[in-house]
Structure 1
Amino acid sequence: MSHVFDARSTTDEVLADVDLHGKRILVTGASAGLGVETLRSLAAHGADVVGAARDLAKARGATAGVREGALTSGGSFELIELDLASLSSVRACADQLLKDARPFDIVIANAGVMAPPFGQTADGFETQFGTNHLGHFVLVNRIAGLLGEGGRLVNLSSAGHRFADVDLDDPNFERTAYDPWVGYGRSKTANILFTVEFDRRHRGRGVRATAVHPGGIRTELGRHMTASDEQALIASINAAHAAAGLPPFEFKSIPQGAATTVWAATVAHPDAIGGHYCEDCQVAEIQDGEGIRGGVRPYALDPKHAEALWTRSEELVGERFL
């Protein structure tokens, strides 16, 4: 593929020349927004897609078009139940996939929650760290054997990782005052660090992992934000952009937001993106400036930090993974 894509590229543009017949792909967060668009675009190009969602009734309604597109293209579509805020649900989902035993070519960890009031998962973890990171950490590692040579893992992160590094000593805000954006930043940094260590552990057998920032999109992810919250966030982003000599922030459409995901999953060369953080259909540069802006902070790609997070995550969930 010689095409160069950017922030305005859509899923259909990225996949215009891509035939996905015979590819089996798992996408979490299959009931709204980017998850549905990701499934739709992949199914429209012949992939056999599996959508994972907490609320299957909602997911069935949201993905009616995905099912129709799969029938038209010669692909297939199915749903599986997954509540990332409950490790018993995560393990049940993984067990079901392992029992089925059909391999995956691509796993896309898309689901997430952003900046809610303080809460805890069913297992007592802070909601964002538990859902965005630990739920996916257990799911992906349990089914990692279903990814064979040439397989890819795509973890959805965010420019929000720039809000905060992970806190391995106090991941659940037991001794730290809770700030929803700090919690979000920690979880999104964790998504990148998980990518780095998963890629290191699995690239020897031909499986690569990458993290992606979809951009700013109005989806259900922002359900906990008020209009004034959104205005304040955009103002802070624009201030960071101005300081860096960047143009003002612009929202992406949902097809534009999902474009980097499908690009990393199917189009980009695995060696180019493996262990990296991508945005706007490109590998992002390391940028340590203040504020929410483009680029990835160095702490999110640090291999020793990634290994430490892996070890701490194993301790928290009570499982060891290869």
Structure 2
Amino acid sequence: MTGPFGATSTTDEVLEGVDLSGKRILVTGASAGLGVETARTLAAHGAQVVGAARDLKKAETATAEVRAQAANGGGLELVELDLANLASVRACADALLADGRPFDLVIANAGVMATPFGKTADGFETQFGTNHLGHFVFVNRIAGLMKPGSRLVNLSSAGHRFSDVDLEDPNFEHTPYAEFVAYGRSKTANILFAVEFDRRHKAQGVRATAVHPGGIQTELGRYMTPEVMEGLLANIAKANEAAGAPAFEWKTIPQGAATSVWAGVVAPVDEVGGLYCEDCHVAERVEGGDIRGGVRAYALDPEHAKALWAKSEEMVGERF
């Protein structure tokens, strides 16, 4: 299958005929769901995959199939990375830098969703701290290992449409906490980080993009009660009906991971660099209440992206 690809395309369809032998690819969140499937398909097409996970024992078990399907010189090694703890983030990055082997692709896949209010080890609101700041420090620290021609893929979500980032109160110190507002802020941040990373590195031949994998039933939804899930799906159904759009359907995990590998390996880089993709295509900019598809303009605003970068540096105490 050569394309065009869409919402139902799978990872193996997207990579059909693609030989990744000799490529070295890093995937965060390689202990469940999309991370495991992403690692599996990349290794099966010959890539040497470095899977980062908080719980290495869990990751070892979860990635058995990745090793079993590795082909054409592909393989998997695991590294410990807790994105909710900057000491762990820096230690992992330092170890990769000491190793010195470059990367052709970094997929920032790990994340949490709709968690109760909490804080990371460094005192940041859990979702913003884990989904954005952890990856912000990690990716920037290993950016020197990304050789010309390499790409960064940040996993965002249609949930970015729940909320823009709040640079005045990122930790909800003055704002009432709401799980999906916090999730929306973190997912918007994932897009803005890709926008500014792309601007800073494209002259060196390193590009970045953000993707929405689609609605998939994975461990990501473990904090959502059945009532919350039912309410969310009801709102989506109502919006789809009002827009004359097809009914919502869950994606399979191979379908959900397809946009990550499409944006990272298959798509022409000049078409996706600095942008947001969904269903294996570049998303349109949209406004309005429908949360089915598209990207909000605030998530691609270059000045907004610069401001988030500066705020993130201030929060983590490190300049890049």
TM-score, scaled relative to structure 2: 0.99
Partner of 2:30: 30
Q: Secondary structure at the match of 1:26?
A: strand
Partner of 1:211: 210
Partner of 1:106: 105
Contact residue 48 and residue 76 of structure 1 kept, 8 A: yes
Partner of 2:49: 49
The code of the aligned residue for 1:130 comes to G
Offset of residue 6 of structure 1? 0.2
- Are 1:16 and 2:25 counterparts? no
State the Cα deviation string for residues 241-263 of structure 1 (Å, max 9, x = none).
22222111110000000000010
Q: Secondary structure at the match of 2:181?
A: helix
CA distance in 2, matches of 1:52, 1:145: 18
CA distance in 2, matches of 1:194, 1:238: 30
Partner of 1:194: 193
Q: Secondary structure at the match of 1:246?
A: coil
The code of the aligned residue for 1:31 comes to S
CA distance in 2, matches of 1:217, 1:2: 24
Partner of 1:298: 297
Contact residue 25 and residue 106 of structure 2 kept, 8 A: yes
Offset of residue 76 of structure 1? 1.8
User: Mapping of 1:268-279 within 5 angstroms?
Assistant: 268-279=267-278
- Are 1:159 and 2:158 counterparts? yes
Partner of 1:317: 316
Contact residue 2 and residue 14 of structure 2 kept, 8 A: no
Partner of 1:181: 180
Partner of 1:144: 143
Partner of 2:116: 117
Q: Secondary structure at the match of 1:143?
A: helix
CA distance in 2, matches of 1:98, 1:242: 50
State the Cα deviation string for residues 75-132 of structure 1 (Å, max 9, x = none).
1210000000000000000000000000000000000000010000000000000000
State the Cα deviation string for residues 198-233 of structure 1 (Å, max 9, x = none).
000000010110000000000000000111111110
CA distance in 1, matches of 2:282, 2:291: 17
Q: Secondary structure at the match of 2:244?
A: coil
The code of the aligned residue for 1:75 comes to G
| Structure 2 unmatched runs, 5+ | none
How many pairs align?
A: 320
CA distance in 2, matches of 1:293, 1:8: 15
State the Cα deviation string for residues 29-54 of structure 1 (Å, max 9, x = none).
01000000000000000000000000
Offset of residue 136 of structure 1? 0.1
CA distance in 2, matches of 1:156, 1:251: 17
| Structure 1 unmatched runs, 5+ | none
Contact residue 132 and residue 187 of structure 1 kept, 8 A: yes
State the Cα deviation string for residues 43-66 of structure 1 (Å, max 9, x = none).
000000000000000000000111
Contact residue 162 and residue 291 of structure 1 kept, 8 A: no
The code of the aligned residue for 1:9 comes to S
The code of the aligned residue for 2:303 comes to K
Q: Secondary structure at the match of 1:51?
A: strand
The code of the aligned residue for 1:273 comes to V
CA distance in 2, matches of 1:193, 1:288: 17
Contact residue 163 and residue 291 of structure 1 kept, 8 A: no
Offset of residue 2 of structure 1? 5.2
Offset of residue 276 of structure 1? 0.4
Partner of 2:254: 255
State the Cα deviation string for residues 9-42 of structure 1 (Å, max 9, x = none).
0001001111000100000001000000000000
CA distance in 1, matches of 2:215, 2:72: 30
The code of the aligned residue for 1:8 comes to T
Q: Secondary structure at the match of 1:203?
A: helix
The code of the aligned residue for 2:248 comes to F
The code of the aligned residue for 2:79 comes to I
CA distance in 2, matches of 1:23, 1:265: 12
State the Cα deviation string for residues 129-178 of structure 1 (Å, max 9, x = none).
00000000000000001001100000000000000000000000000000
Contact residue 285 and residue 295 of structure 1 kept, 8 A: yes
The code of the aligned residue for 2:31 comes to S
Partner of 1:58: 58
Q: 1:156 to 1:164 in 2, by over 3 A?
A: same
- Report the aligned-residue RMSD: 0.9
CA distance in 2, matches of 1:243, 1:320: 46
CA distance in 2, matches of 1:218, 1:94: 30
Partner of 2:266: 267
- How many percent identity over aligned positions? 73
Q: 1:246 to 1:236 in 2, by over 3 A?
A: same
Q: Secondary structure at the match of 2:106?
A: strand
Contact residue 2 and residue 16 of structure 2 kept, 8 A: no
Offset of residue 291 of structure 1? 3.8
State the Cα deviation string for residues 273-309 of structure 1 (Å, max 9, x = none).
0000000000000011214220000000000000000
